[in-house]
Amino acid sequence: MSSHTDATRILGVGILGAGPVTQAIHLPSLARLGHILAVRHIMDVDPTVAESVAARVGAAHSTSIDALLGDPDVDIVAICSPHQFHAEQVIAACRAGKKAVLCEKPFAMNADEAARISAVSQETAVPIIVGAMHTFDPGWIAASEDWGELPEHAHTIRSSIVLPPNARFEDFATEIITRPAGAAPDYSDPEVIKGALRGGVMGLAIHDLPLIRRFTPDFKDVEVLEARHVRPFGYVISLRTPTRSIELRAAMNNTWKPEWSFEAVSDDAALRIDFTPSYVQAGSAVATLTQGTRTTVHGPFEHNGYEGEWRELAALATGEKQPPSAQSLIDDLTFALDIAEATVTHVDTRNAVVEGARA
């Protein structure tokens, strides 16, 4: 009998794409979980990157997805390539019969891709999770066990993000070997603003949209009241559903002081969660839950949501836990796509009004 059927053995991890997220987020998280998981294979289209990142963890390396998926030592596949490759790679990993798949956010770029993933996930029964790390954060999970009916009764939801440059936190987490070059976009061009807002929703807000959706039963009826760009990169987006008021704020700038908070407020209860910054291993979020005049604090716990993802994947791969329904992943994605689309339309409409007024 091969060691692959031994339930107590260490699970092998294969990673597609070895950029900053793999280097600074996943490898350090996996380094804390050596008793259950080991990196066996690193694939990147850039052979130098694949080889040198693999060497850090003593893993095999390759430049082809088939080589990684065909590697019998790989039980769990993490997809950390640029977003346009996610859907195709998730599908291939499921078809290869792997034990579990982690797809970095975003899960897919349109509803069509999402539907294809859902079909393959049902057909192959391979568990998939999306790297919305805050949903795996012990602070969030502890709050969810205590918040009672707040998701049904919240009327106001806020997500606020202030992010120092990524490099600041990557450098606290590892020694990066590749870094994408930054560009200086022309923000006088409405198309650039629209692209920045869409990118803001699909790249940044998307981390917490699953959290917001948890508190928004009528998420399908979301509409944009106002959407504005924050310089150099960020957004102020006001949303409404028939029962919820939702505010999204983000500013990526040159400050040293990060903030990443989620709030949900009802008539008589309020939740505030302060997350630790991306990349660093700074423990979990702290959740502050107020019900009436009583305030309960959950956390901090020792690990963050990234490590939470890997613990979840190990539990899914061994069958210890059941995967989330593909429908909930698709709903999360559709919610994000709807908001991104409505945001861009809103900017278009406003520009048309301004143009009309000038004409």
Partner 1 sequence: MSQYTVRATPEAREAGAITLSVASLPESFGPAGDYDNAHVHAIAGHAGWTTEAARAISAGARGVVVVNPAPEDTDDLDDAAQQNGTVVVLDQRWASNPAATAAEVAVRSMAGRAAVLDVVATAPLGTDIGALIADQLAAVVRLAGPLGNLKLLDRRQNGYTATAVLANGAPVALQGIISDARPASVNITMLTDDGGARVTLPDPVAAWPATVKVTGPQGELLVPTIYESAHRTTWRRLKEHLDAGTLPSDLRQFAAVSEAIASLT
Query: Applying CB under 8 A, which residues contact partner 1?
Result: 155-156, 158, 160, 162, 225-226, 228-232, 234, 236, 238, 240, 245, 247, 249, 251, 253-257, 265-270, 290-292
Cβ atoms of 42 and 171 within 8 Å: the answer is no
Among ligand NAD, partner 1, none, partner that 45 touches (CB below 5 to 8 angstroms by kind):
ligand NAD
Site string for ligand NAD, 199-238 (x = CB under 6 A): ----x-----------------------------------
Asked if 68 contacts 77 with a C-beta cutoff of 8 angstroms, the reply is yes
Question: Min. distance of Cβ 202 from partner 1 in angstroms?
Answer: 20
Task: Give the binding range for ligand NAD (CB under 6 A) out of 5-13, 17-25, 115-123, 348-356.
Answer: 17-25
Q: What is the dihedral of CA 330, 278, 195, 205, to 10 degrees?
A: 50
Question: Please, what is the minimum distance in Å from the beta carbon of residue 170 to ligand NAD?
Answer: 9
21 scored as a contact of ligand NAD (CB under 6 A): yes
Q: How far is the CB of 274 from ligand NAD (least distance, A)?
A: 16
* Residue 105 is a binding residue for ligand NAD (CB under 6 A): yes
> How open is the CA angle 249-255-257, to the nearest 5 degrees?
75
Cα→Cα distances 316→3, 105, 323, 326, Å: 19, 19, 6, 14
Closest CB to ligand NAD among 85 and 172?
85
Answer yes or no whether residue 31 interacts with ligand NAD by CB under 6 A: no
Q: Coil, helix or strand for 154?
A: coil
Look at residues 93, 94, 129 and name the one whose alpha carbon lies nearest to residue 309.
Answer: 129
Q: Pick the closer one to ligand NAD by CB: 199 or 217.
A: 199
Nearest to 232 by CA among 166, 186, 269: 186
Full strand arrangement of the beta sheet holding 11-16: 60-62, 37-43, 11-16, 76-79, 100-103, 128-130
The contact mask relative to ligand NAD for 138-157 (x = CB under 6 A, - = no) is --------------------
Nearby residues of 3 by Cβ (< 8 Å), 6 or more positions away: 9
Residue from the set 12, 14, 127, 131 that interacts with ligand NAD by CB under 6 A: 131
CA angle, 260 then 262 then 265, to 5°? 150
Proportion of the chain in helix, strand, coil states, percent, rounded to 5: 45, 25, 35
- For the bound state, the minimum distance from the C-beta of residue 269 to partner 1, rounded and expressed in Å, comes to 5
Task: Give the shortest CB-30-to-ligand NAD separation in angstroms.
Answer: 14
Selected from 121, 278, 281, 284, the binder of ligand NAD by CB under 6 A is 278
Interface with ligand NAD (CB under 6 A): 16-21, 43-46, 49, 80-83, 85, 104-105, 131, 133, 178, 180, 203, 278
